[in-house]
A and B are shown apart, each in its own frame.
Chain A
């Protein structure tokens, strides 16, 4: 177990380095540059000056400067399009917002999704089962921006319960978190239902009921704990989705999160900002997957994780 974790952690920097190089190559060959957009018509001399200041005259200069800054000081450099901002400042102000939103969304998805899945499995073939089937299919099929539009139309324009945008209070968080959670919620409901049905058919469930345990104890303590494994595996990618899928939701609800900065960075070809954002996202995703693998072994003692290490 320790060896496995150590091996996986040792791999992280290598994977991140590869991702850095790939991202840099993609961004570098992209046309356009942060120095020549419509608002800023710069002379050639000024452009060369800027490029020199940003260590971006050539790709060798860029790669010779920024990676070392990141490794040595954790400094992603200045943003090329937001004047006077460093990428670290932007990350520090935007990352907590995206993470808060993503975590609330995944929490909602987990709670409502597993509750719906368990209910559907217990009432198999009933009205509740069919209703959750329909909602789950719609949740998987509708893009987040359609869900967001519906939520705004109903809860903001019509009922006036929640504001339609902005960031700061809990009330402003409700609609974006709901919009973001629709897709993972639907998947979690499907996964929970399927694996609950598998588990409920097992002998140990019948034994537990036969020895007189109350229905809910059996459902939650015996069946659900076993049925939760596939959902747990899905939590890693799902959390990554709610944190990165927030691009669209952040745009609609006007939330100052990381997704908006990434999209703006792409539109302005802000190389340092793009690289910083991608690295942070990737590091985050890799850590999450590692945590899921470790947690998987802790939940289910039957899984021999040591076998996976080389």
Chain B
């Protein structure tokens, strides 16, 4: 069972990297969010812009940005924001996808046709286009509701990513339910007079945990990727709040042959890349572990 061990090592390694990253970001939040601290993400120092990374001062480990902010502080806050958006968006898309898939697959008939036509239509729109459209449409009503631009900015972002990315999940779950509902134990439950919600929760859902876990894990890096792309384009999280995507975008703009500020690009990109890599590791490992058929052939 050499390959089994390989999945577990992959899941374990990815998980440890994620926990370390997330833990560091969370633990550092009190410093990164306190305006008097050297790590404060928006502390601007006119006398020390664009300092290259230095070893002897912790807040200079990643160097400073254009306005003299500590890049380490910005990266830590950005990490929390990116991971929060990823998790929240994945949660929304899982709930929506599983809900739609269950109802559509179990009820069948016109409900199924209607829901699947909606999925078809949304599939015909390029993903990122739809996220952007949702975002600009939801921004105003939510801003009024939450009374805070920062909070609404965050919520709008993961809402719009979540509202767009449930499509694949719904299709997968519907397919599973279609094959499950013909099995004897579901029929037996129905014959015994179990109500619909009980069949959903007690009989169907436990059999779907595998695919749900896998897609949810693979959803998180997707959501983080979308967020970083939006922030990169300037439509995502608004400044001065940092995310890895917007930090990388600043770094790319600062990249010029005259004064090479490599650290502005390298650190956010590395963090983003490592996080996404670790998440994909966990997701792929889980998929292979849940699907013994793919045992021999995987990459």
Tell me how far the C-beta of A20 lies from the nearest C-beta in chain B, rounded to whole angstroms.
11
Contact: A281 with B126, CB < 8 Å?
yes
Contact: B124 with A15, CB < 8 Å?
yes
Within 8 Å by CB of B221, from A141, A146, A190, A248, lies A141
Contact: B269 with A140, CB < 8 Å?
no
Tell me how far the C-beta of A96 lies from the nearest C-beta in chain B, rounded to whole angstroms.
18
Q: How far is the CA of A148 from the CA of B232 in the complex (A)?
A: 13
Residues on A with C-beta less than 8 A from B121 are: 15, 18-19, 22
Interface of B is mostly: helix
Interface segment among B84-92, B128-136, B175-183: the answer is: B128-136
Contact: B299 with A140, CB < 8 Å?
no
Q: How far is the CA of A256 from the CA of B271 in the complex (A)?
A: 31
Within 8 Å by CB of B129, from A133, A252, A278, lies A278
Write the B210-233 contact mask toward A (1 if CB under 8 angstroms, else 0): 000000000001000100110011
Residues on A with C-beta less than 8 A from B166 are: none
Q: How far is the CA of A282 from the CA of B122 in the complex (A)?
A: 10
Contact: B251 with A120, CB < 8 Å?
no
Given contacts A143-B229, A190-B299, contact A244 B126 (CB under 8 A): yes
Within 8 Å by CB of B299, from A23, A27, A133, A150, lies A133
Tell me how far the C-beta of A239 lies from the nearest C-beta in chain B, rounded to whole angstroms.
11
Q: How far is the CA of A25 from the CA of B136 in the complex (A)?
A: 11
Contact: B124 with A285, CB < 8 Å?
yes
Besides the contacts A23-B125, A132-B299, what 10 more A-B pairs have beta carbons closer than 8 Å?
Answer: A31-B139, A136-B299, A143-B272, A145-B229, A146-B269, A152-B255, A190-B299, A241-B126, A247-B233, A278-B133
Q: How far is the CA of A277 from the CA of B133 in the complex (A)?
A: 12
Residues on B with C-beta less than 8 A from A245 are: 128
Contact: A248 with B248, CB < 8 Å?
no
Tell me how far the C-beta of A268 lies from the nearest C-beta in chain B, rounded to whole angstroms.
11
Write the B272-299 contact mask toward A (1 if CB under 8 angstroms, else 0): 1100110011000000000000101111
A-B contact number at CB 8 A: 139
CB of A34 within 8 Å of the partner chain: no
Contact: A262 with B129, CB < 8 Å?
yes
Tell me how far the C-beta of A147 lies from the nearest C-beta in chain B, rounded to whole angstroms.
10
Contact: B299 with A145, CB < 8 Å?
no
Residues on B with C-beta less than 8 A from A198 are: 297
Q: How far is the CA of A274 from the CA of B281 in the complex (A)?
A: 37
Write the B236-280 contact mask toward A (1 if CB under 8 angstroms, else 0): 000000000100110110010100101001000100110011001
Tell me how far the C-beta of B82 lies from the nearest C-beta in chain A, rounded to whole angstroms.
11
Given contacts A27-B137, A137-B280, contact A263 B126 (CB under 8 A): no
